[in-house]
Structure 1
Amino acid sequence: MKILFIHQNFPGQFPHLAPALAARGHEVIGMTDEKNTRAAPVRVVRYKAPDPVPENIGLGRTYAEMTARGYLAARGARALRDRHGFVPDLIVGHPGWGETLFLREIWPKARLLVYAELLYRTHGHDVGFDDEFSPAVDETRFSTIARSAHLIQTLVQADAAISPTQYQAGSFPPELRDKITVIHDGIDTQRVKPDAQAALTLDDGRVLRAGDEVVSFVNRSLEPYRGFPTFMRALPRVLAERPGAHVLMIGGDGVSYGTKPKDAESWKAKMLAEVGDRLDMSRVHFLGRVPYDRYLSVIQLARVHAYLTYPFVLSWSLTEAMSAGKLILASDTEPVRELIRDGENGRLIPFFDVDAWSEGLIRALAGDPDAERLGAAARQTILDGYDLHRHALPRQIELVERVGAGAPRP
């Protein structure tokens, strides 16, 4: 087949799938934003990046942004068709930025498989979950509906969709849910594995090693959606009672989800203003965004990995920490409960219970007698159902080839 992947940050969710399909003899091309600098595993073509959409157009702004990008992606697709004669049998894309909206008009006979990451909801997900930082006023719900329009439109157009977890697939209404096959992105368990020799050199020259009292906390951005305020509020007691403990935090100072704080330049600045005077900052390390190998060392050397999330998209960092055999302390929220079973392969703690987080982290750092058992069970969970090469990738390939051939989904 001829297969086109489209993602503004290609390879995005497809770093393994795209080259695996090429290795099977399919002609695979990626299409991406001209400003994307990520290395690509297959040949890439680029479309013109859209100009910013004015902020004064109200609730329609998101749809305007998505259609603007979708239009430029369609122009790029038309050039690929008219100048180079490329006509895909299958288009695989992430609809989150509108890139797939108009592609059926360029290639009406192509099949369309989309990545159904999450459908925003006015109830039951992030909206209204956190009264302190994201209260559910009417305008928030209006905005949520407006931000969902392009996602629903794309899934209506699609022949099939893929979603990484049952929770995320279940965010879509029953009318569309039947199009979705649940297959996780997959974890490379041979690369992400326990390492008793893992170590990290800090900027001041100190070296932290596996076995040290280290807490890891990883997110794309340090923000409420991923429990950053709760985690920070738990730390003063943890550091006071564990004087040898260190905290390694990976994440940017910007916002990936939600909004910026109104009274500080970042959530990091806001929380340091609140609790910083009660922290030994020589043992709290904000590493920012780091290369993958450095991130992996942080995960592997930590004695305990803390993961919190609103009811929202599940992070890869949780599944990779599980694959590394870590003792996981995670928020007792719906997406997490799909992977973590309290007392079996990790520990669940109420999202907002600061005292419970402090106590859980102190117990883990002091030497939880069940840590080895829970960590081994966490890794086994990934091996049994989320392993990239044994489970995820073979199922993804089967789905792509069946959808591309017009066959029923497996």
Structure 2
Amino acid sequence: MKILFVHQNFPGQFPHLAPALAKRGHEVLALTDEKNERTGPVKTVRYKAPEPVQTNGVLGRSYSNHAERGLLAARGARALRDRHGFTPDLIIGHTGWGETLFLREIWPDARLLVYAELMYRTRGHDVGFDPEIHPDSDEGRFMTVARSAHLIQGIVQADAAIAPTAYQADSFPPELRKKITVIHDGIDTSRVKPDSNAWLELPDGQRLDAGDEVISFVSRSLEPYRGFHIFMRALPQVLAARPEAQVVLVGGDGASYGGLPRNAKSWKDVMLAELGDRLDPDRVHFVGRLRYPDYLALIQLARVHCYLTYPFVLSWSLTEALAAGGYVVASDTAPVRELIKDGQNGRLVPFFDVPALSDALIRGLQGDPEAERLRQAARQTILEGYDLHRHSLPRQIEWVESFDPMR
């Protein structure tokens, strides 16, 4: 087949699938934003990057911006068709940014498959979950409905969709859920694995080794959606109880999902101001975004890995921490419960229960007698259902090739 991947940050969720399909003899091409600086695993072409759309009303702004990106992606697709004679049998795209909205008009005969990451919901998910940070309101729910428009349109147009977890697939209404196949992106367990010799040098020159009392916390951005405020509030009790403990937080100071605070530059500034001298700056290390080898070393050496999240998209960092044989203390929220069973392959605590989180972190640091069993079970969870080469990639390839018109 001729296969076109469309993703503004390609390879995005497709770093393994795209080259695997090329190796199987398919002609694979990717279309991405001209500002995307990532190196693609297959031949890549670019469309003009969109500028933010200015609209009078806030409700239409989300759809306008996503539709504008879709328009520019479609123009790039049209150039592929008209100038280069490229006509795909299959298009694989991500619905999140609107890039697939108009591709049917360029290639009406191509099959369209989409990555359905999450459907925004007004109740039962992230909206209204944390009233302290995001107070529930009619207006907030109106915005959520408006932000869902391009996602609904994208999956309605598609022949089929894929989602990485059942929780994420189930966020879509039943009439759309039936289009979605659940296949996780996959974890390369030959690379992400336990390492008793792992070590990391911090920016201040301090070296951390496997066996040290280290807590790791990883998020693309340090923000409430990933429980940053809850984690920070748990630290004073942990540091007081474990004087040798070191805490390493990985993540940027921006906001990836929920927005920045109104009266501060970052959520880190908010929490440092709140906690003041209850935190020892020599033991709490903000390292920003690490190179992947350093990040991997951190989750391998950490005695405890903490992962908290709203009911929202599941992070790769959780699956990788489990694959590395991590002792994971996580929030008892729906996306996490799909992977972790409390006392079987990790420890779960209620998201907002700061004392319970502190106690669980202290328990892990001081030597939980069940730690080794939990670590082995954590890795086994990934090996049995989320391993890239044993499970995810073969299933993804089979799913894609089931749409081969010659099959």
> Does the alignment pair 1:306 with 2:306?
yes
Task: Tell me if the contact between 1:159 and 1:403 (Cα under 8 Å) persists in the aligned partners.
Answer: no
The whole-number CA distance in structure 1 between the counterparts of 2:203 and 2:345 is 34
**1:242 and 2:264 equivalent?**
no
CA distance in 1, matches of 2:53, 2:270: 29
2:125 equivalent to 1:109: no
- Aligned partner of 1:79 in structure 2 is 79
Q: Cα distance, 1:304 vs. partner?
A: 0.6
Q: Which residue pairs with 2:7 in the alignment?
A: 7
**How far does residue 54 in structure 1 lie from its aligned partner after superposition?**
2.0
Mapping of 1:1-40 within 5 angstroms?
Answer: 1-40=1-40
- TM alignment of 1:62-77, pairs within 5 A: 62-77=62-77
**Is 1:218 aligned to residue 218 of structure 2?**
yes
Distance in 2 separating the partners of 1:311 and 1:276 = 29
Q: Corresponding residue for 1:255?
A: 255
Residue 364 of structure 2: aligned partner: 364
1:324 — aligned with what? 324
Unpaired segments ≥5 residues, structure 2: none
> Secondary structure at the residue paired with 1:59?
coil
Quote the Cα distance in structure 1 between the aligned partners of 2:322 and 2:209: 19
Say if 1:299 and 1:55 are closer, same or farther in 2 by CA, change over 3 A.
farther
What's the CA shift string for 1:220-272, capped at 9, x where partnerless? Answer: 00000000000000001101111100001100000001111112111010000
Is the Cα–Cα contact under 8 Å of residues 160 and 403 in structure 1 kept in the other structure? no
Note the C-alpha offset of 1:205: 1.5
After TM superposition, give the deviation of residue 109 of structure 1 in Å.
0.3
Does residue 284 of the first structure (1) align with residue 290 of the second (2)? no
For 1:129-278, list aligned pairs within 5 A: 129-278=129-278
Q: Give yes or no for contact 2:120–2:171 (8 Å, CA) kept in 1.
A: yes
User: What is the aligned length?
Assistant: 407
User: For 2:99, what is the secondary structure of its paired residue?
Assistant: coil
Give percent identity, aligned residues only. 73
**Is residue 100 from structure 1 mapped to residue 70 from structure 2 by the alignment?**
no
Contact conserved, 2:47 with 2:73, CA < 8 A, in 1?
yes
The letter for the 2-side match of 1:122 is T
Cα offset for 1:404? 3.7
The CA deviation string for residues 15-34 of structure 1, in whole angstroms up to 9 with x for no partner, is: 00000000000000011000
Name the amino acid aligned to 1:173: P
What amino acid maps onto 2:237 in structure 1?
A: R
- Partner Cα distance (1:97, 1:276) in 2: 39
SS at structure 1 position matched to 2:59? helix
Q: Once the two structures are superposed, what CA deviation does each residue of 1:72-121 show, in whole Å capped at 9, x if it has no partner?
A: 00000000011111000000000100000000000000000000100000
Deviations 1:270-328 (A, max 9, x none): 00000132111101110111111111011101001000000000000000000000111
Matched, 1:296 2:296: yes
Distance 2:344 2:61 in 1: 45
| Counterpart in the other structure of 2:385 | 385
1:27 partner amino acid: E
Give the aligned partner of residue 48 of structure 2: 48
Structure 2 length-normalised TM: 0.99
Q: TM-score, structure 1 length as denominator? A: 0.98
Q: 2:203, 2:287 within 8 Å by CA — same for their partners in 1?
A: no
Give the Cα–Cα distance (whole angstroms) in 2 for the partners of residues 230 and 405 of structure 1.
Answer: 51
Cα deviation, 1:332-367, whole Å, max 9, x if unaligned, reads: 000000000000000100000000011111111001
Cα distance in 2 between the residues matched to 1:203 and 1:172: 43
Retained in 2: the 8 A contact 1:113–1:403? no
Q: AA paired with 1:257?
A: Y
- Report if the CA contact (8 A) 1:234-1:357 is conserved: yes
User: Residue 346 of structure 1 corresponds to which residue in structure 2?
Assistant: 346
Aligned partner letter, 2:201? T
**Could you list the runs of 4 or more consecutive aligned residues of structure 1 that deviate by over 4 angstroms after TM superposition?**
none
Matched, 1:402 2:402: yes
Greater shift, 286-295 or 8-17, is seen at 286-295
Aligned AA (2:178): D
The one-letter amino acid of 1:95's match is: T
What secondary structure does 1:374 align onto? helix
In 1, the alpha carbon distance for the partners of 2:356 and 2:12 equals 36
Aligned letter for 1:89? D
Structure 1 residue 130: Cα displacement: 0.4
- CA shift at 1:56, angstroms? 4.2
CA distance in 1, matches of 2:116, 2:404: 17
After superposing the two structures, state which structure 1 stretch, 257-266 or 166-175, moved more. 257-266
Alignment-mate amino acid for residue 188 of structure 1:
D
Give the residue type in structure 1 aligned to 2:274.
Answer: E
Letter in 1 for 2:176: L
Whole-Å separation in 1 of the counterparts to 2:273 and 2:387? 41
For the residues of structure 1 that align with 2:267 and 2:381, how far apart are their CA atoms? 33
Offset of 1:142 from its aligned partner?
Answer: 0.2
C-alpha RMSD of matched pairs (Å)? 0.9
Given that 1:111 and 1:406 are in contact with CA atoms closer than 8 Å, whether structure 2 keeps it comes out as no
Q: 1:55 to 1:276 in 2, by over 3 A?
A: farther
